[in-house]
A and B are shown apart, each in its own frame.
Chain A
Amino acid sequence: MNHTNTLTPNRFDVCMNQLLSAFDPKNWAKQMIVPIIAILVFLMLWSAGARQVHTSLGAFPGPTKVWEQAIALWEEHKVEQKKAAAFYQRLQKRIDKAIAAGKPEAKIERLRQRKYTGNETFIDQIVTSLITVSTGFLLASLIAIPIGIVIGMNNTLYSAFNPIIQLLKPVSPLAWLPLVTMVVSAVYVSSDPLFSKSFLTSAITVTLCCLWPTIINTSVGVAGVNKDLINVSRVLRLGWLTKTLKIVLPSSIPMMFTGLRLSLGIGWMVLIAAEMLAQNPGLGKFVWDEFQNGSSNSLARIMVAVIVIGFIGFLLDRGMLSLQKIISWDKHAILR
């Protein structure tokens, strides 16, 4: 194209610069001072306000109680890991005894395969939630992006799909859940399932709810491709696939990613509700169980979960943003 001199930065350099600038302390200080002050003010207001609210489970937890419970949850995780280690030691003794007694090989093999049957700790539940939301989100994206592209490029298909999309978009996950549960129970029948039913129910509910922003935003992005670029493709007589890959997709990336970010945000919210009802062993179930327990620590523990949920949602969003920055062709666009 134009004769570039060797000093023009290529894509790789641009990416690296952006990544490094994120870790530059000078940038940090400037960007972080105001937010940190805001957070401190929020904590003080929370602490003062919490003491005024009296529930039947004691005063509403302030930041100190929540911090104590966060530590307690971490300690419980470590205790459970110790219990698991003790279990495996006992198991090893049993295996040795069985070998010495000359038990059949099949039985010894079964003993070796044994897993600890202990409880999910808070950390395990975070991991389960992340896996479930990723599954649901990826499934949704795989379905939504192709549909969005196709209906964005074709008006007839758009008029065909649009009513259905508008009808299904506002449906709450809590309304989907019973239907999904019944279908999964009926269809997913297996004596040794790879995925548990609650996992599938939660993941599918997440998929059903976070399809819509991606479809809509992708179709808008695709339909809104600059007319000049379409004319260029006509002039060059580009094939349909080349046109799609080289012109339509790159120019609709910003809108597509907006859709994906919205979808992930909605998916994470839906997941917590779906887990509460489907009893998938993740953060939603943790909140529900703590509420049912009604111990004097329950409110503080639920607050810990709320903060962790918010924090993870924030990280997921930032993750998508960084992904967008890497993939997007327009490095100078302002992305919030």
Chain B
Amino acid sequence: MTPILKTDNQSSISKKYRSVLRKGILALSACALLNSGLLAQPASAAVGEPEKEDLKFGFIKLTDMAPLAIAYEKEFFEDEGLYVSLEAQANWKVLLDGVIDGRLDGAHMLAGQPLAATIGYGTKAHIITPFSMDLNGNAITVSNEIWKQMKPNIPKLADGRPKHPIGAQYLKPVVDKYKAEGKPFKMGMVFPVSTHNYELRYWLAAGGLNPGYYAPEKGDTSGTLKADVLLSVTPPPQMPSTLEAGTIYGYCVGEPWNQQAVFKGIGVPVITDYEIWKDNPEKVFGMTKEFTDKYPNTTIHIVKALLRAAKWLDENNDANRPEAVKILAQPNYVGADYDVIANSMTGTFEYEKGDKRKLPDFNVFFRYYATYPYYSDAVWYLTQMRRWGQIAEYKPDSWYMDIAKKVYRSDIYEKAAKELIAEGKMKVSEFPNFAKETGYRKPQTQFIDGITYDGTQPNKYLQQLPIGLKGKDKI
């Protein structure tokens, strides 16, 4: 090593100076090396390479498939070594069957689908979810006819606009009128175990209307026993045209299908699910247990990519949303017009035509720990399945908690989150405190009817609900 200073006539002072300099440089480079992370390993081993790199994910054309689209377009999947193709599915049944029979490796699913499949309501298969894709994002829309009849009864604000939230008690007189005339009052939702079904039923029940019961053990899966309002299934993209045709008088669906009704002038959204239950869990990313057992590393890499996409969507106070809307407007994703999608994803929501109100949390992808798969969310959906008879018999509280644990896999979520923190891509504060997290949210009070939901006591919760099966009730 050539000396930095001249060596011909070295004094003892310059010798000391040189050795100190050398030691200093060595120390500095050692520090740099440590800080670059090459030597800094987290306490647990880093996740290995994905076992399966070619993946096919399914989705339905709704704006909340955004995390999948962003993870693809922003190359988050590629960063994790995954080569993903995204395929739109015709309806929720085709999507669920696709995941169960292995045609799809994973999919954008309704929060109730993994639960229903695991307990055997519908096709039985053990499906798990380690990632919640979003909160909120649905609305209930009624046809112009029905709105005209509802509007006079609704209290108004000072400027003449209807006061929100509009409960179903303002729909009740209209339904009663139709029943008196012998016309069945029909409404649509997207799938028997969809969040939309349970939110619509909750809203109707809170207003004093019976949405009907299921009696699967008697072979009746229509869900219309003793109903004031008859609910039926329609795939989301076909909702506006079914409303236009007059087959249904209203529906509960995700976006852009409510704003689409406003743009086309065929319906009026009356309430969003944000107002029915503030920050309710909506979609999850589901995979079969078989897949996650066979490809554990791949699963973690998938969750990592989705976490990054979710963060990007809510980053800087929703600053990236316009770009996200542009991506979603592509025909291979959601395909609706930019303006229709932007109407609900960029901080507002339009109710009656021209009545646009501020609703920044209509879609929440990452903040408020939206991506964490809380057990209490799973238990709420199970309680609603019991409430309306899809679960035919009484089940003890422990049953609800066991199913939630089997299906909602926060352990996978934790591994992925810790990996991202170790890579410096996310901060510890962006996640719940894993050491203390039980998976059950604090009792939630912001429901439209004011009833408190405590996920640790499902049967007690069922007792409080006005309409619905309780305790050992049977149809």
Contacts and interface: CB of A to CB of B under 8 A. Distances in A.
B240 A289 contact: no
Given A117-B85, A294-B237, A56 B265 contact: yes
Contacts of A76: 331
Contacts, number: 46
B88 A289 contact: yes
Interface string B300-341: 000000000000000000000000000001011011110010
A106 to B, nearest CB: 12
B338 to A, nearest CB: 9
A119 interface: yes
Contacts of A296: 337
B53 interface: yes
A161 B201 CA distance: 57
A110 B266 contact: no
Contacts of B260: 294
Interface string A277-298: 0010000000001101111101
Contacts of B163: none
Interface residues of A, number: 18
B134 to A, nearest CB: 21
A293 B53 contact: no
Nearest to A90: B78
A47 B78 CA distance: 47
Nearest to B341: A295
A294 B244 contact: no
Interface in B116-153: none
B17 interface: no
B84 interface: yes
A114 B265 CA distance: 47
A302 B415 CA distance: 46
Contacts of A90: 75, 78
Interface in A110-124: 110, 114, 117, 119
B244 A293 contact: no
A296 B335 CA distance: 10
Interface string B238-276: 101000100000000000000010001110000000000
A22 interface: no
A110 B237 contact: no
Interface string A291-330: 0111110100100000000000000000000000000000
A296 B341 CA distance: 13
Nearest to B332: A119
A273 to B, nearest CB: 15
Nearest to A76: B331
A57 interface: yes
A58 to B, nearest CB: 9
Nearest to B75: A90
Contacts of B334: 293
Interface residues on B, range: 20 to 34
B294 to A, nearest CB: 13
Interface in A150-176: none
Nearest to B235: A292
Contact of B335 (A110, A114, A279, A295): A295
Given A56-B265, A292-B61, A296-B337, A117 B331 contact: no
Contacts of B329: 295
Interface in A178-199: none
Nearest to B261: A56
B83 interface: yes
Nearest to B244: A56
B90 interface: yes
B331 A295 contact: yes
Contact of A294 (B75, B88, B240): B240
Contacts of A117: 83-85
Given A56-B244, A56-B264, A289 B335 contact: yes
B331 A294 contact: no
Nearest to A286: B331
A293 B335 contact: yes
Contacts of B75: 90
B83 A114 contact: yes
A76 B333 CA distance: 14
Nearest to B266: A56
B244 A290 contact: no
The 4 closest A-B pairs by CB, nearest first: A293-B335, A292-B237, A117-B85, A56-B264
Interface of B: 53, 61, 75, 78, 83-85, 88, 90, 237-238, 240, 244, 260, 264-266, 329, 331-332, 334-337, 340
11 contacts: A56-B240, A76-B331, A117-B85, A289-B331, A292-B238, A293-B61, A293-B331, A293-B336, A294-B260, A295-B335, A295-B340
